[in-house]
């Protein structure tokens, strides 16, 4: 059965968090959900500390250490970790996408989040815009599922469409300033630049 990937970019972390919680409430496994949010301004200081590129909590949540997945009613968001991604900068993250970034040889060679999204089947054009969105202060929620779970995921995400960025419009905004694609070698946004981007889209952290 084919695996599909559903991805939304949110202009503030609160909307992304609520989407993750809604997906979990709909019965979607933590193992199939991922969240990556810009943390250039260090607003998320309560997450686990980075260890060898990924936090112990994130390793546990993604099965990147012993294969154990957080259980006992704990949600994906309890496993948030802090790490830095080339071209994106400091992020908080948890889930399968980050396990792909930090393991299996994808990492920097595959373009970090960009390479992992493409590897998962997200069209390259969209993957560039999503990754750039995180670089500029957004939070990405990406869900993978086979056909048996797709309808449930679509139902949750469609119910939260108004909270997500319209990526057609967003890509047009980016290209209007000369942007062409996400560049891993580009400097990540400073806290002031992230604040300016968030103000541009009237978003909060």
pLDDT band of residue 43 (cuts 50, 70, 90) is: confident
Tokens of 1: 């059965």
Residue 204 has a pLDDT of: 62
Sheet with 89-95, side-by-side order of all strands: 3-10, 139-146, 33-38, 89-95, 81-85
DSSP, collapsed to helix, strand or coil, labels residue 5 as strand
CB 45 within 8 A of CB 23: no
Average pLDDT, the chain: 81
| CA pair distance 21, 5, nearest whole angstrom | 18
Cα separation, 140 vs 129, in Å, equals: 11
pTM of the predicted protein model: 0.82
CA–CA distance, 7 with 79 (Å, rounded to integer): 20
At 124-170, the pLDDT tens digits run 999 999 999 999 999 999 999 888 889 999 999 999 989 999 999 99
pLDDT score at 54: 42
Q: What pLDDT score does 165 carry?
A: 94
Q: Is the pLDDT of residue 52 over 90?
A: no
Task: Spell out the residues 6+ positions from residue 119 whose beta carbon is closer than 8 angstroms to its own.
Answer: 100, 106, 110
172 CB-contact burial (10 Å; exposed 0-12 / middle 13-18 / buried 19+):
exposed
4/91 Cα distance (integer angstroms)? 25
Distance CA 59, CA 51 (A): 9
pLDDT score of 111? 54
For the chain, domain boundaries: 3-200
Q: What secondary structure letter does DSSP report for 189?
A: P
Least-confidence region, from 45-49, 119-123, 174-178: 45-49
User: How far, in Å, are 35, 79, 185 from residue 68 at the CA level?
Assistant: 19, 12, 34
């Amino acid at each position: 059965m084919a695996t599909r990937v559903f991805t939304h970019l949110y202009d503030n972390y609160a909307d992304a968090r609520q989407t993750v919680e809604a997906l979990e409430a709909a019965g979607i496994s933590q193992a199939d959900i991922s969240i990556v949010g810009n943390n250039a301004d260090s607003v998320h200081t309560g997450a686990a500390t980075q260890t060898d590129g990924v936090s112990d909590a994130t390793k546990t949540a993604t099965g990147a250490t012993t294969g154990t997945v957080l259980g006992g009613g704990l949600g994906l968001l309890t496993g948030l970790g802090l790490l830095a991604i080339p071209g994106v900068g400091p992020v908080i993250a948890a889930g399968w996408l980050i396990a792909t970034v930090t393991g299996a040889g994808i990492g920097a060679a595959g373009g970090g989040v960009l390479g992992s999204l493409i590897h998962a089947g997200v069209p390259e054009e969209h993957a560039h815009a999503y990754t750039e969105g995180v670089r500029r202060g957004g939070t990405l929620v990406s869900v993978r599922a086979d056909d048996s779970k797709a309808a449930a995921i679509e139902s949750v995400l469609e119910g939260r469409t108004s909270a997500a960025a319209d990526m057609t419009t967003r890509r047009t905004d980016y290209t209007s300033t000369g942007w062409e694609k996400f560049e891993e070698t580009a400097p990540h946004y400073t806290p002031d630049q992230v604040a300016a981007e968030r103000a541009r889209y009237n978003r909060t952290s």
